Amino acid sequence: MPIRVAIVEDDAVLSERYRELIASAGDMRLEWTASGAAEALRRLAGEAPDVMLVDLGLPDGSGLDVIRGARARSPECEVMVVSVFGDEEHVVAAIAAGASGYLLKDALADSFLGTIRELRAGGSPISPSIARIILNHGRAPGAPPRPGEPVECELAEREREILSLVAKGFNFQEIGRLLGISNNTVKTHIYRIYRKLSVHSRGEAVFEAKRLGLLDF
């Protein structure tokens, strides 16, 4: 089945470029496009796509509302932010809203279609500068728990192992191969991790786990 993609972008030239790239891919199908938050939320009232590309700065609101709407409508829908905003406030807010990937518009290249495939396969494509923000967030004095200090939740050894691999950029299929378990088993562990951390996406899970000191890097 082709990957069903939706675009939420108010820049007509950029939106058309996305359309052309998706049309050139034999394994993808463009479901719909929206130029604003209200239009996107109306579209989401129907069948949700597999992947959504969402700009944060929309003329009638924030892309964060679209991300939340997508996650509430269909937890299986993967959301990738494609934005000019690369500051900590926007990045953290997008991850908290449920984004699984975050790319800067000036960093888009020939790998654009590959990032959509990676997202759909269980990966979390993130621009290098954005990854640094995520890793550094919460490292201020007093933010993460001190060594030996109890955290708000406990992950099983296998869950920590899987989350560590997710944080390193491995997708679900790769994690399954590395650990010798099925893709469905990986997903089961991931859903348990989400529930324990009270999160809704891979990026948010890694962010929260680092904040709680559950990852060693």
Topology, domain 157-211: Arc Repressor Mutant, subunit A (1.10.10)
Cβ atoms of residues 119 and 80 within 8 Å: yes
CATH of domain 3-136: 3.40.50.2300
- Phi and psi at 132, nearest 5°, equal -65, -40
Which residue stretches of the chain have pLDDT < 70?
Answer: 107-110, 134-153, 216-217
Q: Domain map of the chain by residue range?
A: 3-136, 157-211
pLDDT digits (tens, 9 = 90+) for 4-26: 999 999 999 999 999 999 999 99
Residue 145 confidence (pLDDT): 41
Residue 149 confidence (pLDDT): 41
Instruction: Of 73, 72, 98, give the one whose Cα is nearest residue 81.
Output: 98
